[in-house]
Structures are given as structure tokens and as C-alpha cells.
């Protein structure tokens, strides 16, 4: 039976970033990554259209995003360049007067940098060729926003640090957890393992895993997010910004001559291999056509992923508080990619008992949920 210091259950971005940060701080640590699927990142991580937007997630998430910014800008050895500049433009619908003021208030609350654009400034943007005039009267722009190389980030974490990497075991769905003598016995479909500490990084399955460990579920809720890939005439400009509706009904961005379009949906779901809903696709395409003048040639493909939130929409990090040797790294919602460097280092510091890189109190698993 293989023995480890820390076993991380879930090899998506939450588990992989925590494993990397543990080995960055303590290269001799024996770290195990258990993944129930054939490959890591199959569910949420591998289906993310992530981009780094400082304001995303609201004031509780901004500190994690800011603390991750230097990592993305100058990645450590073993990572490719991770960011490609793509500013974010927020627009408002004709039926949503005051939507931009609402967004500006949120930006002000988290001290996010942004600029107001009037009609003349909007007319000079690449989006002007696409938007109908009544959607293009004014906007808010965040300049320090970027596409993220999600695969490069995830694979860099899985490779570990120089001279140390976690042991990754796939097809290893956990079927049993038993604590005895200060050790966990972890029963999986790929064999049995022992570890002093287990990290619950199971994403949409986090509460199910907690129940296996005898812990109180935290009420994490998987929410479905849908993405459509469209062919347009004319094709979207390559330098098109990420365009977001202030009312939260859609956002879109270019990718390789096509357009990625999402209804920004958050439909409660259950942990499973989620698929897009046809009604969600039809609704967002209709909204897109109401806001733009381009011709839709076809829907090329679509997919959906599960973004898992705690009841207060703040990630859950830290020791369980009731079950010895159980640590939470869950509830990262849709901001798990852009906050991964800081979140991984925060979790590693708490696991190792060292000084965390930012204030941990808002995220603790022992808080009231």
C-alpha cells in the first residue's frame, strides 16, 4: 500500500495548483494526486474559457485574483507564457438603463481599474462593427484583462517543481475513506493508499467526498455554464475584446476566426458529465442576434461545465475543523483558473503551517455556511 504525506483528491485546477504549491514550499513532501477520470481536468478545468479579469467574482475574490497576477505575468520555470492581452468591455442593453452604473459601483467597491467610454470612443473599438447602435452608446472597459492558457497552466502545475512532482493516479475514483492511527486509508478503483492528510479538491463532488470522510457537507452547489461556438459573417475581429452584458445575460470573445458565446448561465445541477441544454443555446443565440448585426452562419459546437459554489459564493479553504486530517479546497466557482496560483499557495501554507500569502480568514472551511 503506497504511503504519502498528503493525498489530494481531484486533479483539476484546485488539486493541481495545491500540489504544485506544496512541492514549491517543501520539495521532499510525498504528494499524491488522485483523479477519478482517465485524464485530469476532464470536467470543469478542461472546459473553461478562462480569461483573467480582476473584477470577476466580486470583492471577496479580487484579493485572490490580484495575488495571482504576478504569477501569470511572469510564470515560474516549467510554465509557458500564460496570458494574452484581451481587454474586457461591458455594455448595457436598451432595456437595462443604469446597468453600467451598477457595474461601476461593483468595480469601485473592489477598487478595480476601469474607464468610461462615450459613444465616440465606443465607435472606435473593434466591437463597433458588430454591435447595434442602441447597444453601442457607452461602455466600461477594463484594460488589464487577458486570455489564459488554461491547458498550459494546468499542465505546468501537474509537472511540479524542478526535481519534485506529485504522483498522479488516474481512473482512481475514491470509494472509501477510513481514519485510524493518524492516517487515512484511501480505497480507490486503482488500489489503496495511505496519507496523513487528505485534501478535498473534488469540485462538484466535494460534498459527496466529505460524506465519505464522515464530515459535514458544506452545501456546495454545481451550476451549469454553457458555451456555444459560432461561425459568423463577417468573422469576429481577432482583436475583439471580451464583450459582456451588464445584466449578465451573455458574454462573447473571438477564438480562431470563430466566436465563443455564453449565456452566463448558472443553472443548479448535480455532479455528472454535464451537457449543454438546447433551450439555453437557443436563448443566448437569440440575445446575441438582438445585440449585434452580424449574420450567424452556423452553430459549430457547444459544451457545458459545472462551476461549484459555496452558499456564500466564496471558496472553501482550510482544515475541516471536526474531522482530523481533512482539508478543504473547494467551491471555486468560475474563478478557479484565474485565482489558482494564489489559492494553491494559500492552501499549501495552511497545510504546512507557514505564513499564508494573503489573509485566509474569509475563506476558511470553519466559517458559518
Q: β-pairing, 295-309 with 221-233?
A: antiparallel
Please give the average pLDDT of every successive group of 10 residues along the chain, which has 369 residues: 94 97 97 95 72 88 95 96 96 96 92 95 96 97 95 96 94 98 97 98 97 98 96 95 95 95 94 94 96 96 94 98 98 94 98 96 96
Tell me the C-alpha distance between 346 and 237, whole Å. 39
Identify the pLDDT of residue 236.
96
CA angle in degrees (0–180, nearest 5) for 83-242-308: 80
Identify the pLDDT of residue 263.
94
The domain spans of the chain are 2-77+149-220+311-363, 88-143+221-308
Identify the pLDDT of residue 42.
78
Going from the C-alpha of 268 to that of each of 133, 248, 309, 312, the distances in angstroms are 35, 17, 10, 15
CB within 8 Å of 102: residues ≥ 6 apart: 246
Tell me the C-alpha distance between 284 and 195, whole Å. 46
Q: Are 260 and 322 in contact (CB under 8 A)?
A: no
Tell me the C-alpha distance between 328 and 255, whole Å. 35
Identify the pLDDT of residue 55.
87
Burial (CB count <10 Å: 0-12, 13-18, 19+), residue 326: buried
CB within 8 Å of 313: residues ≥ 6 apart: 57, 58, 60, 333
Identify the pLDDT of residue 208.
97
CATH of 88-143+221-308, one of 3.40.50.2300, 3.30.9.10, 3.40.50.150, 3.10.450.50: 3.30.9.10
Q: Where are the alpha helices (DSSP H) in the chain?
A: 13-25, 62-73, 99-109, 119-123, 150-159, 206-212, 278-291, 340-352
CB within 8 Å of 167: residues ≥ 6 apart: 2, 4, 30, 31, 32, 33
Element (H, E) at 149: none
Identify the pLDDT of residue 46.
63
Tell me the C-alpha distance between 48 and 323, whole Å. 32
Q: What is the pTM assigned to this prediction?
A: 0.94
Helix/strand/coil for 24: helix
CB within 8 Å of 34: residues ≥ 6 apart: 7, 8, 9, 10, 11, 169, 172, 174, 186, 188, 190, 193
Tell me the C-alpha distance between 119 and 106, whole Å. 22
* CATH architecture for segment(s) 2-77+149-220+311-363: 3-Layer(bba) Sandwich (3.50)
Going from the C-alpha of 254 to that of each of 22, 86, 178, 251, 296, the distances in angstroms are 36, 10, 48, 11, 14
Amino acid at each position: 500500500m503506497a504511503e504519502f504525506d498528503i493525498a489530494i483528491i481531484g486533479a483539476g485546477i484546485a488539486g493541481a495548483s495545491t500540489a504544485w504549491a506544496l512541492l514549491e514550499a517543501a520539495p521532499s513532501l510525498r504528494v499524491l494526486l488522485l483523479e477519478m477520470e482517465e485524464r485530469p481536468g476532464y470536467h470543469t478545468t478542461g472546459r473553461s474559457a478562462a480569461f483573467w479579469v480582476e473584477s470577476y467574482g466580486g470583492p471577496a475574490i479580487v484579493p485572490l485574483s490580484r495575488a495571482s497576477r504576478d504569477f501569470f505575468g511572469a510564470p515560474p520555470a516549467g510554465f509557458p507564457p500564460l496570458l494574452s492581452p484581451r481587454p474586457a468591455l461591458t455594455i448595457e442593453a436598451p432595456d437595462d438603463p443604469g446597468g453600467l452604473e451598477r457595474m461601476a459601483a461593483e468595480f469601485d467597491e473592489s477598487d478595480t481599474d476601469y474607464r468610461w467610454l462615450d459613444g465616440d470612443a465606443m465607435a472606435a473599438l473593434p466591437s463597433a462593427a458588430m454591435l447595434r447602435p442602441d447597444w453601442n452608446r457607452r461602455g466600461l472597459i477594463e484594460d488589464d484583462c487577458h486570455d489564459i492558457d488554461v491547458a498550459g497552466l494546468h499542465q505546468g502545475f501537474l509537472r511540479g517543481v524542478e526535481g519534485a512532482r506529485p504522483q498522479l493516479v488516474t481512473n482512481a475514483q475514491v470509494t472509501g475513506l477510513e481514519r485510524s492511527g493518524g492516517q487515512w486509508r484511501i480505497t480507490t478503483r486503482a488500489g489503496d493508499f495511505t496519507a496523513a492528510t487528505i485534501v478535498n479538491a473534488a469540485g462538484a463532488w466535494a460534498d459527496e467526498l466529505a460524506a465519505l470522510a464522515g464530515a459535514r457537507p458544506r452545501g456546495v452547489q454545481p451550476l451549469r455554464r454553457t458555451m456555444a461556438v459560432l461561425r459568423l459573417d463577417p468573422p469576429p475581429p481577432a482583436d475583439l475584446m471580451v464583450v459582456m452584458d451588464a445584466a449578465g445575460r451573455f458574454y462573447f470573445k473571438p477564438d480562431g476566426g470563430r466566436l465563443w458565446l455564453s449565456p452566463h448561465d448558472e443553472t443548479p445541477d448535480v455532479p455528472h458529465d454535464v451537457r449543454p441544454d438546447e433551450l439555453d443555446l437557443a436563448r443566448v443565440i437569440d440575445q446575441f442576434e438582438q445585440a449585434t448585426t452580424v449574420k450567424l452562419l452556423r452553430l459549430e459546437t457547444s459544451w457545458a461545465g459545472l462551476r461549484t459554489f459555496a452558499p456564500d459564493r466564496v471558496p472553501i479553504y482550510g482544515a475541516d475543523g471536526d474531522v482530523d486530517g481533512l482539508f478543504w479546497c473547494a467551491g471555486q466557482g468560475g474563478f478557479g483558473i484565474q485565482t489558482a496560483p494564489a489559492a494553491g499557495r494559500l492552501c499549501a501554507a495552511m497545510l504546512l503551517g507557514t505564513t499564508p500569502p494573503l489573509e485566509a480568514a474569509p475563506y476558511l472551511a470553519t466559517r458559518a455556511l
